[in-house]
Structure 1
Amino acid sequence: MTTTKENVVWITGASSGIGKAMAFEWVRLGYKVVLSARRKELLEEIALEIKQSGGEALVVPVDILEEKSIENAVQSIIDHWGRLDVAVANAGFGVFGSIEKLTAKDWNKQLQGNVTGLALTVKYALPHLKQHQGRIGLVGSVGAYVPNPHVGAYGASKAAVRSIGLTLQVELMGTGVSCTTIHPGFVESEIARVDNEGVWHPDRPDPRPANLMWPTDKAAKVMVKAIIKRKRTYIFTAHGRVIVWLQYWLPGLVRTISSKGPKPVE
């Protein structure tokens, strides 16, 4: 890759949480950043903050549930900056509920967003990434490896992300493009406060253990570093690595632990 000042990073789901934190981390390292999500007003606030700090940012709204929106977003990036060096497919959401209660609509929405939207983000970015031996970052979850009651649809979608990452690592051999699939443990986010219809509930309690939660800026640093180093798979936090290890060697223990955990609001 060339000097970072010339490099363009595209981040989906950049309006909050990990995506927003990664945007600031890439800018800190000297990259130009493209901010994408549905909430344009939030993206513009982030872009203004980046520009006031001396960085470069472009707002390109996108809806990962719409293929044309993804295709148009990539074209907007190329029209504006003429290149794309890193694509971080971070946009996603959780559909919660027991397998017994989830509807076909629930499953379709979860898989369309976290799987199809992610895959199409890569599809339209790839021709441009190949021109500069670029990098792909896929944001998965430790949930791809371990059972989590009432989060089955989300876990299934992230298991698919893991599979997509493994497949890309084979398909991209010889192209110079790398694919890093990142599986975070507990990181601060809005995911638990958004219901299955996409409505945000600011007062909804987060059932995840607060004492294990990583701040987004800390998570962003290790995620960006993994993508830059072209790691194939990167699992973090420490508790995330431990639970994945336990699932591999002591799956019965993990089932017992998971069954006693708090239930998300359905």
Structure 2
Amino acid sequence: MSSVLITGASKGIGRAIAEELAHRGHHVIATARRPEELDDLPVAQRLRLDVTDQASVDAAIGAAGEVDVLISNAGATVRGPLESIPLAEVDRLFQLNALGALRVAQAVLPAMRTRGDGRLVFVSSVQGRMVLPIIGPYGASKWALEALAETLAVEAGHFGVKVSIVQPGAVATGGAERAATFLADDDPYLPLYRQVGVLRGEVVTAEDVAVVVADTVENPAPPLRVPAGAPAERALAARKEAPEDVPFVPAGLDW
């Protein structure tokens, strides 16, 4: 079985992935910024890892030993119109969702390249291929993540490293409910914000996504992009079929 390091494993999708892979017999290295939140996970190792902190990444990778598979899952989201959302919040998302993922990938890639084998699995979103209003900063960070991941698939693929991007739609983890929101009571975009819940569409569970991730890890020839569940497949198909010369407006949006 593989040695699998997971970032952001303390809750939601990351926790479900850790449990699923441990159940399948893999050597799971669960990491989080607060490792005490990992105590009840049935995994081989629990390490502190903050993907935005190079020293933290270096220490965790040093303690992990050989890593066959990196599952880059750590991430966050916010709500707010691009006209007024604080740029510091946008920067924070890019540091976590995109550059943080690259930072950890850089830490494990030299050993994978030397061995001529390894896997990078990036947990993205359908919003890595389409945009939803009011969630634009998150989508932009996931578009950046997918560009980085696809580049790695070309560059590191030459050395035997397989790269996959898992794309869930809406997932029932509580992340959307916990997201910081930047709208005033009289914000002109408030009517649009009130429709965000409708745009999320059908919701899947973290466990559903975990099964897709685990199947991807165990697939001898995994595809580059892997939609996680039927709702994600439908959303991505609708985006692919839509014309490219006008903005894509998700079904159900009245704006």
Q: Normalising TM by the smaller chain, what interval? A: 0.7 to 0.9
Shift of 1:35: 0.8
SS in 2 for 1:69: helix
Q: Name the CA distance, whole Å, in 2 between partners of 1:171 and 1:258.
A: 40
SS in 2 for 1:192: helix
Match for residue 255 of structure 1 among 238, 244, 249 = 249
Query: Are 1:237 and 2:232 an aligned pair?
Result: no
Q: Name the CA distance, whole Å, in 1 between partners of 2:146 and 2:179.
A: 24
Query: Are 1:111 and 2:94 an aligned pair?
Result: yes
Query: Are 1:136 and 2:120 an aligned pair?
Result: yes
Asked if the contact 2:168/2:232 (under 8 Å) is kept, the reply is: yes
State the AA in 2 paired with 1:207: G
Shift of 1:248: 2.1
1:15 equivalent in structure 2: 10
SS in 2 for 1:129: helix
Shift of 1:32: 0.8
Q: Name the CA distance, whole Å, in 2 between partners of 1:195 and 1:254.
A: 24
Q: Name the CA distance, whole Å, in 2 between partners of 1:151 and 1:258.
A: 16
Asked if the contact 1:246/1:254 (under 8 Å) is kept, the reply is: no
The equivalences for 1:70-219 within 5 A come to 70-78=57-65, 83-130=66-113, 131=115, 133-196=117-180, 207=197, 212-219=202-209
User: Percent identity between the aligned chains?
Assistant: 27
RMSD: 2.2
State the AA in 2 paired with 1:257: A
SS in 1 for 2:29: strand
Q: Name the CA distance, whole Å, in 2 between partners of 1:209 and 1:224.
A: 28
SS in 1 for 2:50: coil
Deviates more, 1:245-254 or 1:158-167: 245-254
1:27 equivalent in structure 2: 22
State the AA in 1 paired with 2:119: R
State the AA in 1 paired with 2:105: V
Q: Name the CA distance, whole Å, in 2 between partners of 1:121 and 1:208.
A: 34
State the AA in 2 paired with 1:153: P
Q: 1:183 to 1:118 in 2, by over 3 A?
A: same
Shift of 1:208: 6.2
Q: Name the CA distance, whole Å, in 1 between partners of 2:240 and 2:202.
A: 21
Q: Name the CA distance, whole Å, in 2 between partners of 1:28 and 1:132.
A: 27
Q: Name the CA distance, whole Å, in 2 between partners of 1:177 and 1:59.
A: 25
5+ residue gaps, structure 2: 182-195
Deviates more, 1:224-233 or 1:112-121: 224-233
SS in 2 for 1:60: strand
Q: 1:117 to 1:208 in 2, by over 3 A?
A: farther
1:200 equivalent in structure 2: none
SS in 1 for 2:75: coil
Q: 1:123 to 1:208 in 2, by over 3 A?
A: farther
2:191 equivalent in structure 1: none
Asked if the contact 1:162/1:181 (under 8 Å) is kept, the reply is: yes
Q: Name the CA distance, whole Å, in 1 between partners of 2:252 and 2:51.
A: 31
Asked if the contact 2:171/2:205 (under 8 Å) is kept, the reply is: yes
Shift of 1:129: 2.6
Q: Name the CA distance, whole Å, in 2 between partners of 1:90 and 1:256.
A: 25
Q: 1:145 to 1:258 in 2, by over 3 A?
A: farther
Q: Name the CA distance, whole Å, in 2 between partners of 1:151 and 1:256.
A: 13
Q: Name the CA distance, whole Å, in 2 between partners of 1:68 and 1:258.
A: 45
Asked if the contact 1:243/1:254 (under 8 Å) is kept, the reply is: no
Q: Name the CA distance, whole Å, in 1 between partners of 2:112 and 2:139.
A: 29
Normalised to the residue count of structure 2, the TM-score between the two structures is 0.85
Normalised to the residue count of structure 1, the TM-score between the two structures is 0.82
Q: Name the CA distance, whole Å, in 2 between partners of 1:178 and 1:208.
A: 36
Q: Name the CA distance, whole Å, in 1 between partners of 2:53 and 2:93.
A: 14
